Chain A
Amino acid sequence: MKKFITIIVALLSIHSASAWSKAIHAGIAAIADANLTEQTKESIRQAFDGRNIVYYAHWMYDMADTKGYEQTKNWRSVAIAKNNKPLKSKKVASHSEDVVRRAQGLDALAAAIRAIESGTLTKEQLADNIRYIVTIVGDLHCPTHYIFVDNLPQRKMHYFYNDKKQSYVGYWENGSIAGTFPWKSNEYVHQLNRKSPEQIAQITKGSVTSWVISNAAAYREIYTLLKDGQKFNQKSYRLWQNTIYPISTEQAAVAGYRIAAILNGLFDSNVANVKIK
């Protein structure tokens, strides 16, 4: 057990720049896919030559080193000011810290939505922008993708599991769900796609920016659950994980419903568009 956690967490820290794990991204996309209207599904199927959004859930990451897609590395997180509002684009671009400059996720998401709304895209561009939405909205529901500029050092917070130093950021991106539920993407749907229409309406209410603001407020709270340098043994670690997984699984579900809301708004004429602001 010790060895496992050590190695897995070590692996996770290596990938800590890469957001939710592949399985979680795919799980979120699968929940979204299950909530698309037929009209939306058909439009996406055409754009993707028959594929679905689950297939492309992690695509933005797979393409990060491909020429023409390098900028997507800056689209994975969002910079948040002290009042929990997203930092203005100009301030992000001119910030002294690299981690803030790279937090352009909300702008990229807005650009993708506007591009699709414009209706002037080629098939390939349309496909790219759908894929951006799926991945970015997923990431914007991962607490560690919120860069709180007033408290940057908290990103470096660590804990000790059986005396080995581990990063909280790494834990969030996979262990926060997989440490309790080693689900496959279709199992995310089976387990988490259980909200009533009223609950879904509540979750998808508001604009993309309002989602980010409310997420930011909630995710700030999450840091209060973490204590820098906290020491866990097997028992206390399990108990701590028990406090985390209800939050992380809920975020995965919320992300799935919101992706569906955006895409249904864009592709189904009977569904209202989700506003950016």
Chain B
Amino acid sequence: MKKLFTLLLFAVLSSYCAMAWDNRGHSTIAYIAERHLTPRAKANIESYIGGRSIVYYAAWMDYNRSTPPFDITRDWHVDYWTDAHRTDENGNPQPPCSVSQIKRIVSEMGDFRTLSDSLVNVNIKFLVHLVGDMHCPVHIDFPTSRPMKVTMDKKTVKVHAMWDAHVLNSKHNGTSPMQLAEEFDIFSDEQIAKIQLGTPDDWHIENVAISEKVIQMIPKSKKITYDNYLNEAIKYAEDRITVAGYRLASILNSIFDK
């Protein structure tokens, strides 16, 4: 049974890989972060990515997950619900996940000037994406929500597919990520400082709680409407995107503002 569970977990984790925020969501996170980078951090970062904005690379990891050399990043986009899921039945570690990768990259980038340009370049692309992914409720694997399907607009979809893009786009379809960042980034400096407190591990725990909540909110009928789910869910999606943006800024500033 346990083996079956592990197998299922693996199967689901691999299928999750296509999920988390869509390009609009990731781009918005990167925009919000960019608005809070110090000028020095922004200049340092952009000197490693050809003068482009980090927004350009917000979803780069999604496009580079299936072929070498970046196929090793395939599983990095997701995370485990609890620590118990981090090892299999024999105590062997599961594939790396977003939080562990963020921690590894942050520590590796401690003195980024000693690293090769290409390593810094790719680490920027990783961070910009993974901090977004770790704040997406459905990128956390949860046994009960995994097979859950809902009906939206007369179509049946998996819960994580709904969260992938539809929740955000149900309200903001037609709004560009640049404008979304303008609309979401409304917190005071004190509020932002509070959001940025803590470590990726703390943020993960917080996100697990929110994931549980958005799954519990799903109506028993599994028929999703604006009234019974989306109007409320969109608030969580916006919150997670905004929070991810602020935290991405804090991580990037801590590395590059020197």
Contacts and interface: CB of A to CB of B under 8 A. Distances in A.
B217 to A, nearest CB: 15
B186 A50 contact: yes
B230 to A, nearest CB: 8
Interface in A166-185: 184-185
Contacts of A67: 227
Interface in A1-37: 21-24, 26, 30
Contacts of B226: 62-66
Interface in B163-203: 171-176, 178-179, 182-183, 186-187
B107 interface: no
Interface in B111-143: none
Contacts, number: 56
Interface stretch (A51-59, A110-118, A265-273): A51-59
A210 interface: no
Contact of A186 (B182, B186, B187, B227): B182
A187 interface: yes
Interface string A235-259: 0000000000000000000000000
Contacts of B227: 65-67
A267 B5 CA distance: 60
Nearest to B187: A50
Given A66-B227, A186-B178, A58 B171 contact: yes
Given A65-B226, A66-B226, A184 B186 contact: no
B231 interface: yes
B231 A62 contact: yes
A175 B117 CA distance: 46
B32 to A, nearest CB: 14
Interface of B: 171-176, 178-179, 182-183, 186-187, 225-227, 230-231
24 contacts: A22-B171, A22-B173, A22-B174, A23-B173, A23-B174, A26-B175, A26-B179, A30-B179, A45-B186, A54-B175, A54-B182, A62-B171, A62-B226, A63-B226, A63-B231, A65-B226, A66-B226, A66-B231, A67-B227, A184-B178, A184-B179, A185-B179, A186-B178, A187-B176
